[in-house]
Amino acid sequence: MRLEKTEKLRQYDFSRKENLLFIITIVLLFIILIIFFIPKKKTPVHLHIKKSKATIEYLTDISFKDNKIMFLPTHSPEIKEILMLYQEGWIEKSSFMLQNIIKNSKDRLIQIAALNNLANMLDDRKDYSRANMNYLSAISLDRNNPYIHFNYGISLYHAGRKKQSLEEFITATKLKPNFDRALINIANIYFENSDLRKAIKWYDKIKHSSDLYRQARYNTAMALWQIDFNANEKEIKNILETLLKKHDSISYFAALNLGNLYFDKNDFSRSKTYYELACSIKPDNYTAWYNLGIIERSQKNYPTAIEYFQKASENIKNFSDIYKNMAEIYYSQEMITPAIFQYEKLIAITNDRSAIASLADLYYENGPETWNDALMLYKELFQNGSVDEKLVSLANMGNIWFYKTNYTRAFQFYDEALKLSPGDIRLLNNSGLVLTRLQKKEEALENFQKILKIEPDNENALMNVIIINASLNRLQEAVNLCKKVLEIKQDDPIFLQLLATLYLKSRNYEKALEVLDKINYPETSIKIKNDLYRAFIYFKQNRYSDALDIYNRILTLQENHPEALLNKGIVLYHLKRFDEASKELLKLLVLTEDPSLLAMAYLYLGNSAYKKTDYPAAKYYYERGLEYRPDMPELFYNLSLVKKRTS
């Protein structure tokens, strides 16, 4: 039976395909041109390393609490008993008992001992005024006792009276020349006051046989470091090397500072050796572990660096630089989730806005599941930050809403950001892109023209002006501008491709082919895209064999290219090679999840089956196609025809 005119199979309207191709090209170009205003954190990191030379690390607390002399006459069992009560925690009772001895005892030595020990107790309780009164009373009974002057000096130091404290320590050394505890405290006070040469002079008075000699030598090295490291480097090294012989706290600090010394000289191998020694002496330290992490990070040994930073974090609470370094390492390796975790720990212990900004950026880059967290932090930065922080926060909030396809909200944030920085090209660009999505193309055009007033050769703005004019059917204006750009940017593949697309849109196929011939192919993907354009033009000119040759060439370069497979099947259909067409189209079904491509494949599978009078198969294919594109009229119409055949 001859088919009636109304029963003729409908092919896909290739004039619509032409429009679709143009729209797809425009969308792709928009995506390429989007400049998202995201402050990336892959800039060089300013590393921090804790150095004892910057903040001298004393081995005993400068408060001298542990050095306090508890003056105790041997012939007073009562005072012995009181001190035992005090050590057991009977503070009020022991103080009261000493006051009774001071009031009632006729023995001068016992009175001195009671006054001294009561003053010590009051000093421990930070009652410095009453402590000092009792020390002075003890001194009035025995002016030549170096230990009372020493204790009085400690209490004065606790009260913040360093000058008077120094005088008492000096008095103690006059009464007892080899009084090492007084000597080192004098030196330490001079050190604190930055009178380093005097400090060294007093450290040198401590004899080699003294228990405090090693501490004095260490502090001498630190003083020399601060005076002039370059001039004193050899002596500093010698002192610190001699202190390594014992595995004690002084050896730890000596090893640590030798590590710092070689770190500053970029001798990381020797620096690591000393830091590792410091860690072996004192495994529960954090500074040497941290510094090892810094070295490994600088040498891009990131897993080892992370291991060292984690060991450092086990030994100290709330050292923010540890978490910052780990976060930056994870981010540099594109490990967003652990980077977020470290920044979350960092901002839990610091209000550093740069850390908050970094975490906000990570939430942003991590994707939709953390965008709301990013918005919350950007809002906080906008409310409390500097002008620059407000600008970045507004821009990134706009970007997030752009991604969420809430273009109205996105525009509001870009608009607010432009009030802070009216000439910011990136913001003008993003705002223009949002306006195009809101179909406010004339306003978008104004944005891109503003960019061109600031930067006449801005490729993104030129491209967008051309694209918008084309979308408004001002094709000749778009073509003229594109040609003008190509006079300056000769053989630019992007603008040549755009010009070819404009000629396609205006159905000037010969001109489109001329332009495509001029394009060099720096990348296979660009060559494939241009070949697709060329094949499409051949198809429109009914040059099916030429189109087929191009699709075969594309599939040689990229075997499973979905669009090439689809179009090859369609061309084979038009060449009436229905079995071959079906074979190519069936390959496509397992290669893509794109509903438009699948619907087209099922349409031509159905058409091929129909042409072979396999109506049940045709019906099946049309119904499957409608599952992917229920709005495709060709599928509806052809399904109605095949149902007539099978009813």
Looking at the chain, the whole-number percentage of residues with pLDDT higher than 90 is 55
Whether 13 shows a pLDDT value over 50: the answer reads no
385-396 burial, b at 16+ Cβ within 10 Å, e below that, comes to beeebbbbbbbb
Residue 85, classified by CB atoms within 10 Å of its CB into exposed (0-12), middle (13-18) or buried (19+), is middle
Lowest mean per-residue pLDDT among 7-11, 552-556, 577-581: 7-11
The pLDDT assigned to 67 comes to 54
- Amino acid 620 reads Y
Confidence of residue 206 (pLDDT cuts 50, 70, 90): very high
Looking at the chain, the whole-number percentage of residues with pLDDT higher than 70 is 87
pLDDT tens digits, one per residue of 428-472: 999 999 999 999 999 999 999 999 999 998 888 998 999 999 889
Distance CA 325, CA 549 (A): 56
Compute the mean pLDDT over every residue in the chain, rounded to the nearest whole number: 84
In 315-386, where does DSSP find H-type helix?
320-332, 336-349, 353-366, 371-384
CB 128 within 8 A of CB 159: yes
The pLDDT assigned to 304 comes to 96
The pLDDT assigned to 64 comes to 36
The pLDDT assigned to 58 comes to 28
Whether 45 shows a pLDDT value over 60: the answer reads no
CB-facing half-sphere around the CA of 553: CA atoms within 13 A: 16
Lowest mean per-residue pLDDT among 40-49, 308-317, 403-412: 40-49
Distance CA 252, CA 266 (A): 21
- Amino acid 81 reads E
Residue with tokens 């409908």: 10
The pLDDT assigned to 523 comes to 67
pLDDT tens digits, one per residue of 154-193: 999 999 999 999 999 999 999 999 899 999 999 999 999 9
Distance CA 51, CA 264 (A): 10
- Amino acid 506 reads S
Angle at 428 between CA 424 and CA 432, to 5 degrees: 175
The pLDDT assigned to 71 comes to 59
Distance CA 29, CA 27 (A): 5
* CB neighbourhood size of 125 (10 A): 12
Which among 276, 236, 238 is positioned nearest to 255, based on CA atoms?
Answer: 276
Question: What ranges do the domains of the chain cover?
Answer: 521-647
The pLDDT assigned to 435 comes to 94
The pLDDT assigned to 30 comes to 37
Whether 551 shows a pLDDT value over 70: the answer reads yes
Q: At what angle do helices 77-87 and 91-104 cross, to 10 degrees?
A: 160
CB 555 within 8 A of CB 569: no
pLDDT tens digits, one per residue of 65-89: 345 665 555 467 777 788 788 777 8
The pLDDT assigned to 384 comes to 87
The pLDDT assigned to 545 comes to 92
- Amino acid 559 reads E
pLDDT tens digits, one per residue of 460-516: 899 899 999 988 989 899 999 989 888 888 888 888 888 888 888 888 888 888 888
CB 352 within 8 A of CB 337: no
- 11 vs 624, which has greater pLDDT? 624
Distance CA 380, CA 395 (A): 14
CATH architecture type of domain 521-647: Alpha Horseshoe (1.25)
Mean pLDDT throughout 89-109? 85
pLDDT tens digits, one per residue of 359-390: 999 999 888 999 999 999 999 999 988 898 89
Whether 20 shows a pLDDT value over 50: the answer reads no
- Amino acid 584 reads E
The pLDDT assigned to 70 comes to 57
Q: What does pTM read for this prediction?
A: 0.63
Distance CA 496, CA 490 (A): 9
CB 588 within 8 A of CB 605: no
